[in-house]
Structures are given as structure tokens and as C-alpha cells.
Amino acid sequence: MIWSIARRELLATYTSASSWIALAAVQFILAWLLFLQLDVYLKILPELVAGNSPLGIIDMVVTPTLSSTTLILLVLIPLQGMGSFADEIRSGRITLLLSTPVSAWQLVAGKWLGLLLGNLPLVLLPLLMAWLLELGSAVDAGRLASSFLGLLLFTAMASAISIWLSAISEQPLTAAAMSWGLLVLLWL
């Protein structure tokens, strides 16, 4: 039953044009930032080699790009999760959802899983870009995997916070504002 709710949330996310536009915009911004960081890295690479610096492409290119991804997710996840429950409460559809043979925890877990899976491409695309750097340099796979795990855990936490605050608010924008406030507080 959790998977059915998650699938419904995922389909609702990717049947709207705004989600595809946001995904394309985020991909463009992240690719642009990655290439800017790569340009800076290539300019200072001779100095790094001459100084025997331990800094590599992960430190100078991938980490700043993943940090930017985290900030973008910090903005987007509350926007996507704000209507999970708040919109259902405001429109009165929550009574229909609660009358189904689904327990409350299954409903929450399904909505959380749907939001998490909906944001998974935003986590996988920067990982794919960083992994493609392997074609021209030596990328530490362990550090890349741990960075991906951290980004995935952040996405799961931000999704859970957005779902929780959406469940205790009747207005979607209030839920988004509270999510942003709490996520920024945790980020600081």
C-alpha cells in the first residue's frame, strides 16, 4: 500500500510540466557550476602540482557542485512537499484518504517515499556529472560514493521535514515557509 501512495505522488510530480522545467533548470545550473569549477581547477592545476598540494578534482570541483546541489534541494524540496498534506487538508481530500484501508503511518511513509523518489533525479544527475569526470582524471570512487550518500540522506531528511510540516499546517505556503526555516536552521 505504501508503494501505491508513493507511485501516485511520483506520477503527480512528473505529469506536471513545472517539474520537468524545474529539473531542466536545475540540471543547467549544476552543469554550469560544474564547468565553472572545472575551469578554475584547470587554471590552478599547475600551481597545485608544483606545490605538491593534496587537493584534487573531488575537492576543487565535485564538492562545490554537490554543495550547490544541497542548496538547490534546500529550496526545491519544501516547494514540492508543501502540498503533500496541507493541500489535502485545505481541499478536504484528507477525509477521503483517511477513510481508505491505509494506516496513518503507511500514508505518511508513502508520501515521503514519493517525494524522495521524485527528487532522486536531482541527486543522481550531479553524481553522474561527477562520475563522468573520471574520463579525464582520477576520481576517488569512495569519496564520491560517500558524498552521494550524504546528499541522499539530506534529501531524505528534507523530505521528511517537509512532509511533517505539511501535515501540521493547513496552508501549503505556511508549510513551505516552516520547512525552509527549519532546514536553514539545521544547515547553519
Region of residue 103 (phi > 0: left; psi between -120 and 50: alpha; otherwise: beta):
beta
CA 167, 74, 22, 176 dihedral sign is positive
Looking at residue 92, what is its pLDDT? 77
Name the pTM for this structure.
0.86
CA 173, 20, 158, 57 dihedral sign is negative
Task: Tell me the percentage of the chain whose pLDDT exceeds 70.
Answer: 100
Looking at residue 106, what is its pLDDT? 87
Looking at residue 137, what is its pLDDT? 76
Looking at residue 155, what is its pLDDT? 95
Q: Which of 39-53, 63-77, 89-103, 155-169 has the lowest mean pLDDT?
A: 89-103
Q: What is the mean pLDDT of residues 159-183?
A: 91
Looking at residue 171, what is its pLDDT? 85
For the chain, the first-to-last Cα distance in angstroms comes to: 37
